[in-house]
Chains A and B, each alone.
Chain A
């Protein structure tokens, strides 16, 4: 009888202790490694306009998606030496993808980087990739038949600038030559 009570007491103390310890083991688990991929995609916004997006995907080692994490996008450009310029930030969706709009006028290979800084659960990840951008946006002034007016306007402005420069030159001449001459 006494032995039964001892076993029961042991169960009541050991089991909760094991539960607590197992919980602390879960909290203290090492952060999981993550991996990033990046690609350029053509997307359509809610107004039906097409745009170019840089899409990154954050996954675990087993390929499962990591959602709700912030990805920062950079492009590497050569401004007196290579440097990373921030494009923007976006959070990963449930399928692990985060995308930012990418506006460029230059076709060719763009060096793009995506960074995930990591947190308590996941280790940081980084990817740098050369993306071949082909379908770039173009900027053109709309032609609505106002070209003759535009040309005449530019010529008029140019003529006004010339008149102003002539007047300035006249004043300088007036002052430097006529005042000096009148004083000598």
Chain B
């Protein structure tokens, strides 16, 4: 299937819908989200003035909701990487209409998630010491390097497919996008004319970036996992923590991509371009990753529980039957049972139900990260009880502000840039046509058995 000129024009105008459609609903949403973000910033300033004692953290439980947010929100950025990079490398043609949304989600969630590395510090101004007096043996240093490198890579990966779109939209629809966007697009489109040489450079750079971003994303989450597992603490000291965290990030990331794609599709009428197929395939991906994650969880608790050291018994007991049991079982149901059932039956394999499953997965996976971070700290090395942890209003306000910042930043981004990667849709359609042409035997060509 290839597009004619009118269809491409139609696609380009559709990609500008968040810029052209400015109803009262989107304005109200922006105002509400901004209020949450401002409240979060105010709570952080309060924490900065009063110190970390305004949080529920203490000497024993020194990681809490902030560290949970760091792991969970950076994990979400992974969804963008997989949808864009892995599906690009594997030539999955259905990816094209959703890549821009996925890449933007990766950038935004990474920025918000990485902020928690600073927020959870009592003395944020001491962060520069990591650069002036680095300790190469510390996982924290490598964490910062990995996250910064990954952020630069996601920004480049978001930018590359934009170049042809910006150039074409700038020249075709200057009245639609307005003056300041026309100037911005001119600057960012780098004199793009679509010549074969330019296309070749862009394609090779994007492919190289896609190849690079996968190990980068894996390294970010592995290093984050090792920051826990090299500690020797019961519940953290696990050799499977690297892959366990990577799969968790992919799982929650794909779920977040489903939510973003479904919401933007509905809000801006993108249903002609983004069909049920995209959501369904993402649903399958989420299902496979979810089952893999449940398998990892089972493997982790089986080996810990079977050995029954003094500390592991207390920890697993608190998780399965004790204080944390409601959170643990909610996680199991929301990530392991409900999504499987919803995607297994054709009747519930719809956009609405898959999106509902994705929302449950995101909530469940946030709780799972909380269960990874907090319970091991509430028990001493020999299983003794230590100080309990309950998040304070400051922590919850900052968290709500951060969660609100993700859709807010997405709304702002797509008020500046086109929401669909039209050039990629065209490219994929051309590849499909080429593949189909090769598959159909030509007259006089011998058909091999």
Question: Chain A: residues with CB nearer than 8 A to chain B?
Answer: 45, 47, 75, 77, 79-81, 83-89, 101-103, 141, 150, 154, 157-158, 161, 164-165, 167-168, 171-172, 174-176, 178-180, 182-184
Q: Once the chains bind, are B190 and A141 in contact (CB under 8 Å)?
A: no
Q: Once the chains bind, are B145 and A161 in contact (CB under 8 Å)?
A: yes
Of B109-117, B202-210, B356-364, the segment with at least 4 beta carbons within 8 Å of chain A is: B202-210
Residues in A neighbouring B195, C-beta threshold 8 A: 182-183
* B 158-172 binary contact with A (CB < 8 Å = 1; else 0): 011001000000000
Q: Once the chains bind, are B137 and A154 in contact (CB under 8 Å)?
A: yes
Q: Which residue from A141, A158, A168, A176 sits with its C-beta under 8 Å from B137?
A: A141
Q: Does B435 contact A (CB under 8 A)?
A: no
Q: Does B380 contact A (CB under 8 A)?
A: yes
Q: Does B20 contact A (CB under 8 A)?
A: no
Known: A85-B59, A103-B59. A182 touches B197 (CB 8 A): yes
Q: Which residue from A83, A87, A165, A175 sits with its C-beta under 8 Å from B387?
A: A87
Report how many residues on chain B are interfacial, defined by Cβ distance under 8 Å. Answer: 41
Known: A81-B51, A182-B197, A183-B190. A175 touches B205 (CB 8 A): yes
Q: Does B297 contact A (CB under 8 A)?
A: no
Q: Once the chains bind, are B201 and A175 in contact (CB under 8 Å)?
A: yes
Q: Once the chains bind, are B59 and A183 in contact (CB under 8 Å)?
A: no
Q: Does B140 contact A (CB under 8 A)?
A: no
* B 193-234 binary contact with A (CB < 8 Å = 1; else 0): 101011001101100110010001000000000000000000
Known: A150-B137, A158-B136, A179-B198. A165 touches B149 (CB 8 A): yes
Cβ distance B310 to chain A, nearest Cβ, rounded Å: 9
Known: A80-B50, A179-B202. A157 touches B142 (CB 8 A): yes
Complex-state Cα separation, A105 to B142, whole angstroms: 24
Q: Does B176 contact A (CB under 8 A)?
A: no
What is the total of A-B residue contacts with beta carbons within 8 Å? 100
Residues in B neighbouring A83, C-beta threshold 8 A: 50-51, 53
Q: Once the chains bind, are A179 and B201 in contact (CB under 8 Å)?
A: yes
In B291-327, the 8 Å CB interface with A consists of none
Complex: chain A residue closest to B58, CB-CB: A86
Q: Does B374 contact A (CB under 8 A)?
A: no
Q: Which residue from A79, A154, A164 sits with its C-beta under 8 Å from B122?
A: A79
Jot down 5 A-B pairs with beta carbons below 8 A, ordered by A. A81-B50, A81-B51, A83-B51, A164-B212, A182-B198
Q: Which residue from A141, A164, A179 sits with its C-beta under 8 Å from B192?
A: A179
Closest 9 CB pairs of A and B: A79-B51, A183-B191, A83-B53, A182-B197, A88-B387, A180-B190, A182-B198, A179-B190, A83-B51
Residues in A neighbouring B193, C-beta threshold 8 A: 183
Complex-state Cα separation, A175 to B162, whole angstroms: 12
Known: A88-B60, A168-B152, A168-B153. A79 touches B53 (CB 8 A): yes
Cβ distance B403 to chain A, nearest Cβ, rounded Å: 26
Cβ distance A166 to chain B, nearest Cβ, rounded Å: 11
Q: Does B30 contact A (CB under 8 A)?
A: no
> Knowing that A79-B122, A85-B59, A86-B387 are A-B contacts, what are 13 other residue pairs whose CB atoms are under 8 Å apart, sorted by A's residue number?
A47-B382, A79-B123, A80-B49, A80-B51, A88-B386, A88-B387, A141-B137, A168-B212, A171-B208, A176-B190, A178-B201, A183-B190, A183-B195
Q: Once the chains bind, are B387 and A171 in contact (CB under 8 Å)?
A: no
Complex-state Cα separation, A102 to B159, whole angstroms: 51
Complex: chain A residue closest to B122, CB-CB: A79
Q: Once the chains bind, are A85 and B58 in contact (CB under 8 Å)?
A: yes
Residues in A neighbouring B160, C-beta threshold 8 A: 175
Complex-state Cα separation, A174 to B100, whole angstroms: 21
Cβ distance B56 to chain A, nearest Cβ, rounded Å: 9
Cβ distance B381 to chain A, nearest Cβ, rounded Å: 9
Residues in A neighbouring B216, C-beta threshold 8 A: 164
Q: Which residue from A79, A103, A165 sits with its C-beta under 8 Å from B52?
A: A79
Complex-state Cα separation, A178 to B195, whole angstroms: 12
Q: Does B48 contact A (CB under 8 A)?
A: yes
Cβ distance A86 to chain B, nearest Cβ, rounded Å: 5
Q: Once the chains bind, are A164 and B149 in contact (CB under 8 Å)?
A: yes
Residues in B neighbouring A161, C-beta threshold 8 A: 145, 149
Complex: chain A residue closest to B198, CB-CB: A182
Q: Does B119 contact A (CB under 8 A)?
A: no
Cβ distance B202 to chain A, nearest Cβ, rounded Å: 6
